[in-house]
Amino acid sequence: MTTLCTIYRFLKTVVILLFALTLSACDNAEKPSDQWESAVQGHYTAALSSDGKYGIVGSIQHGASLWDMQRKERLFNLNHAKGQFTLLSAAAFSPEGRYAATASDRTIVLWEVATGEPVWFWTSPGDILGMALTPNGDYAALALDNHTAVLFDIKNGGVKRTFNHNEKVRSIAISADGSHLLTGSDDFIARLWDIQSAEVLKSWRHENNVITTALSDDGRYAFTAAQADQANIWDTNSGKQLSTLPIKKGSYIMGAAYTVARFSSNGQKLMTGTNSQLVQLWDVKTAKQLKRWRISKKEQWKPTSAAVLAVAFRGNNRYVAIGSNGLSYKLQ
Q: Determine the pLDDT at residue 105.
A: 84
Q: Determine the pLDDT at residue 110.
A: 98
Q: What percent of the chain has pLDDT over 90?
A: 79
Q: Determine the pLDDT at residue 304.
A: 61
Q: Same structural domain for residues 92 and 138? A: yes
Strand, coil or helix: 76: strand
Q: Same structural domain for residues 129 and 191? A: yes
Structural domain count, the chain: 2
Burial 28-56 (b: 16+ CB within 10 A, else e): eeeebeebeebbeebbbbbbbbbbbbbbb
The boundaries of the domain holding residue 15 are: 1-30
Q: Same structural domain for residues 20 and 99? A: no
Q: Same structural domain for residues 1 and 149? A: no
Segment 232-254 mean pLDDT = 81
Q: Determine the pLDDT at residue 40.
A: 85
Tell me which of 48-57, 108-117, 222-231 is least confident.
Answer: 222-231
Q: Same structural domain for residues 179 and 310? A: yes
Q: Determine the pLDDT at residue 297.
A: 74
Q: Determine the pLDDT at residue 68.
A: 98
Q: Determine the pLDDT at residue 305.
A: 74
Segment 304-321 mean pLDDT = 92
pLDDT band at 253 (very low <50, low <70, confident <90, very high): very low
Q: Determine the pLDDT at residue 9.
A: 33
Q: Determine the pLDDT at residue 1.
A: 46
Q: pLDDT by residue (tens digit) across 57-76?
A: 999 888 999 999 999 999 99
Q: Same structural domain for residues 7 and 124? A: no
Q: Is the pLDDT score of 124 beyond 90?
A: yes
Q: What value, to the nearest 5°, has the Cα angle with vertex 122 and ends 121 and 127?
A: 130
For the chain, the average pLDDT equals 89
Please state, in angstroms and rounded to a whole number, the distance separating the CA atoms of residues 312 and 67: 14
- DSSP letter (8 states) at residue 61: T
Q: Same structural domain for residues 297 and 308? A: yes
Tell me which of 22-36, 41-55, 100-114, 130-144 is least confident.
Answer: 22-36
Tell me which of 21-30, 50-59, 271-280, 302-311 is least confident.
Answer: 21-30
Residue 178: give its domain's CATH number: 2.130.10.10
Q: Determine the pLDDT at residue 97.
A: 96
In terms of pLDDT, which residue wins out, 285 or 40?
Answer: 285
Q: What percent of the chain has pLDDT over 70?
A: 87
Segment 169-197 mean pLDDT = 97
Segment 313-331 mean pLDDT = 95
pLDDT band at 169 (very low <50, low <70, confident <90, very high): very high
Q: Is the pLDDT score of 8 beyond 80?
A: no
CB contact at 8 A, 233 and 241: yes
Among residues 104, 55, 94, the alpha carbon closest in space to that of 323 is found at 55
Q: Is the pLDDT score of 224 beyond 80?
A: yes
Segment 272-280 mean pLDDT = 96
Please state, in angstroms and rounded to a whole number, the distance separating the CA atoms of residues 178 and 138: 10
Residues 6+ apart with CB under 8 A from 203: 189, 190, 191, 192
Burial 225-255 (b: 16+ CB within 10 A, else e): bbbbbbbbbbebeeeeebbebebeeeeeeeb
Q: Determine the pLDDT at residue 17.
A: 32
Q: Same structural domain for residues 24 and 131? A: no
Q: Same structural domain for residues 17 and 150? A: no
Q: Same structural domain for residues 193 and 323? A: yes
H or E stretch at 214: strand 210-215
Segment 244-258 mean pLDDT = 68
pTM of the model: 0.88
Q: Determine the pLDDT at residue 18.
A: 34
Q: Same structural domain for residues 14 and 47? A: no
Q: Same structural domain for residues 128 and 149? A: yes
Q: Determine the pLDDT at residue 249.
A: 57
Please state, in angstroms and rounded to a whole number, the distance separating the CA atoms of residues 216 and 239: 14
Q: Is the pLDDT score of 256 beyond 80?
A: no
